[in-house]
Amino acid sequence: MLDPGHGGKDPGAIGVSGTYEKQVALATAFELRRQLEATGQYRVELTRARDVFIPLEERVAKAQERRAVLFVSMHADAIADRGVRGASVYTLSNHASDAQTAALAERENSADRFAGPEWHNAPPEVAHILASLVRQETRAGSGRLARSLVGSLDRDMPMLPNPERHAGFVVLKAADIPSVLVEMGFMSNPADEAQLRRPQHRAMVADAMKRAVDAYFAATAHVAELHHVEGISD
Ligand SMILES: [Zn+2]
């Protein structure tokens, strides 16, 4: 699930020459969807495919409804210092993760989703443990995807110092879907804004993100294989 930031009444950041973040985010998401679908390996959906306002919680809900296995939010924000440029990648901070884990354990419907019907009547303490395990897996997956994205983007474009960061973004709070937020650059920086206006640059950003998604799934398949082998030896 690709999540182009902002939209509708919320323009997001407004660039130094008047470009709206919501437009850059949507255009890059379209390009990334095109590239991913061209491989024939992915089913790609967008939280929004037009200029419409969608609340953050609804974006997460959409990913859950569609049973997304990855959630990638796409942004290009602004800060006061116009000299700051470069891309960065965010995963959810620990604090928010713990709160989400607690909330997850309380909701039987959520537990159903990952535990399968056979655990429907699991005692609360078991449901809690399962929820914690799912949250751990999700965090590990988010971290793998974030590192993959940083490595891939870093090859092609300027990055912020310590580009892999953590924050309490609402849009990253799905407990069971590895989620990252990519800041593709700063609308407040004239060089970043000028680049993000160019389709060729957006295609390059999308290509870097596509490579990261490919690497993520290649590594995840390997991890699943190891689990499978361990299961057999038990
Ligand atoms: Zn944004």
Tell how far the Cα of 214 is from the centroid of ligand 1, in angstroms. Answer: 25
CA-based nearest residue to 11, from 51, 71, 47 = 51
> How far apart are the C-alpha atoms of 234 and 232, rounded to whole Å?
6
**162: Cβ–Cβ under 8 A, 6 or more apart, which residues?**
none
Residue 100, pLDDT > 50, answer: no
User: Is residue 183 classed exposed, middle or buried when 0-12, 13-18 and 19+ CB atoms within 10 A define those classes?
Assistant: buried
Q: When comparing pLDDT for 44 and 219, which is higher?
A: 44
76 CA → ligand 1 middle, Å: 6
Q: What is the distance in A from the centroid of ligand 1 to the CA of 25?
A: 8
Ligand 1 centroid to Cα of residue 7, in Å, is 10
Query: Which pLDDT belongs to residue 230?
Result: 52
Within a 10 A sphere around the Cβ of 2, how many other Cβ atoms?
A: 27
- pLDDT tens digits along 149-181: 999 999 999 999 888 988 778 888 888 999 999
DSSP 21-49: HHHHHHHHHHHHHHHHHHTTS----BS-S
Q: CA distances (Å), 222 to each of 19, 42, 194, 218, 231, in order?
A: 42, 18, 39, 6, 14
The band of 124, judged by pLDDT with boundaries at 50, 70 and 90, is confident
Cα-to-centroid distance, 223 and ligand 1 (Å)? 32
pTM exceeds 0.75 for this model: yes
Residue 132 has pLDDT above 90, yes or no: no
Phi, psi of 91 (to 5 degrees): -120, 170
Higher pLDDT, 222 or 157: 157
Cβ burial of 42 (10 Å; 0-12, 13-18, 19+) is middle
* Polymer length of the chain: 234
Q: What is the pLDDT of residue 106?
A: 40
CA of 3 to the centre of ligand 1 (A): 11
Mean pLDDT of 206-221: 93
User: pLDDT at position 94, please?
Assistant: 56
> In terms of pLDDT, which residue wins out, 2 or 173?
2
Average pLDDT over residues 48-61: 94
Residue 96 has pLDDT above 60, yes or no: no
Tens digit of each residue's pLDDT (9 = 90 or more) over 32-45: 999 999 999 999 99
- What is the DSSP track for 201-230? HHHHHHHHHHHHHHHHHHHHHHHHHHHHHH
How far does the centroid of ligand 1 lie from the alpha carbon of residue 12, in Å? 5
